[in-house]
Amino acid sequence: MEVDSNKNLGSESVGSETLAETVHVPVMPDEVVEWMTGHSPQVIVDGTYGGGGHSALLVKKLPPGEGVVIGLDRDPLVSERVDSEQHDPRLTVFLGSYEKIPKALEAMEITKADAILLDVGLSSDQLADANRGFSFNADGPLDLRFDPENGDPASDWLAWKKEDEIANAIYQYGEERCSRRIAREIVMRRRKENPVKTVNDLVEICRRCVPTSKNHNIHPATRTFQALRIVVNDELGIMERTIKASPDWLSPGGRLVVISFHSLEDRIVKNAFRDDERWNVLTKKPLRPTDDEIRRNPRSRSAKLRVAELR
């Protein structure tokens, strides 16, 4: 499926690197299909296309020869993979953030969607790419951008931000208690003209600053990397704006399904659904993956799924 200028909703260019076949496993696939298609939608939007697993399941649920699934993803390498694969003609994928859903609908000459999915977790394909810096188990540039063609990598952000700004971001978005100690070490390296540039640079700082937890088997860099990823991609800002505006993009009775992976994201979804009278909340408590799914796909263990329907 060709990704050309009219399918580019937010990036300046598409990268030239060849991407291997996806290794991403869709989270809570049965639950997504059930809640996304139970009201027989004709226009489905997968705002976080990733490896295409959810979209592939959803397009199969459309009536034969009817309906469309519209995918969006910020990652140019996802667009390259889509370009090289064969898909059901009812599936169209755009390059851009899920905040660009209205532009995708407009490009398809569609006024409203019947169901929108936002799976806001990090894809396994991104974790597997050492050049992106998402995994602290492999050294590489400390980038952390979903779209490497736009914005500043995390290493640049750390190179010019003040110590208190770094500490506050790590605490606010990573809920890391040792944020001030980590920020101090980052700035000290910068002053010695040895700034943090790579994954290992930051991992070593976190190892020194974060004491080993007796109760949780969590890598000392986990919360810091999460925080920096959120910052450089404006993840929570985009998520808040999208959920707030999404009733305008849905037809009456349309559904918004959101899968989140940490408390900051889930709180945004919960509050947005609760505080907007246009929503009828269908999941009073978030749905969680089954024990069987967690055994098969350990990365699903922290997922929470919430659903609301437009009144």
Same domain, 171 and 252: no
Same domain, 117 and 216: no
Same domain, 108 and 254: yes
pLDDT for 215 equals 57
Q: Provide the residue-wise pLDDT of the chain in tens; the chain has 311 residues.
A: 333 334 677 543 333 333 456 677 899 999 999 999 999 999 999 999 988 999 999 999 999 889 999 999 998 878 777 766 777 899 999 999 999 999 999 999 999 999 999 999 777 666 666 677 788 878 999 999 988 888 999 999 999 999 999 999 999 999 999 999 999 999 999 999 999 999 999 999 999 999 987 656 789 999 999 999 999 999 999 999 999 999 999 999 999 999 999 999 999 999 999 999 999 999 999 999 999 999 999 989 999 999 999 99
pLDDT for 4 equals 36
d(CA 197, CA 142): 6
Domain end position, chosen among 233, 262, 277: 233
- Whether the Cβ atoms of residue 239 and residue 272 lie closer than 8 Å to each other: no
Instruction: Quote the domain boundaries for residue 101.
Output: 5-125+236-310
pLDDT for 5 equals 35
126 assigned ligand-binding residue: yes
pLDDT for 78 equals 80
Domain end position, chosen among 212, 233, 254: 233
What CATH number should be reported for the domain holding residue 222? Answer: 1.10.150.170
49 assigned ligand-binding residue: no
Same domain, 13 and 54: yes
Same domain, 159 and 112: no
Same domain, 162 and 106: no
Same domain, 153 and 181: yes
Domain end position, chosen among 233, 254, 286: 233
Q: How many domains does the chain have?
A: 2
pLDDT for 18 equals 39
53 assigned ligand-binding residue: yes
| Contact residues for 126 (Cβ-Cβ < 8 A; gap 6+) | 75, 132, 134, 146
What CATH number should be reported for the domain holding residue 27? Answer: 3.40.50.150
Q: Cα–Cα distances in Å, from 56 out to 33, 37, 86, 104, 191?
A: 10, 13, 11, 18, 50
pLDDT for 124 equals 63
pLDDT for 241 equals 97
Same domain, 228 and 159: yes
pLDDT for 213 equals 73
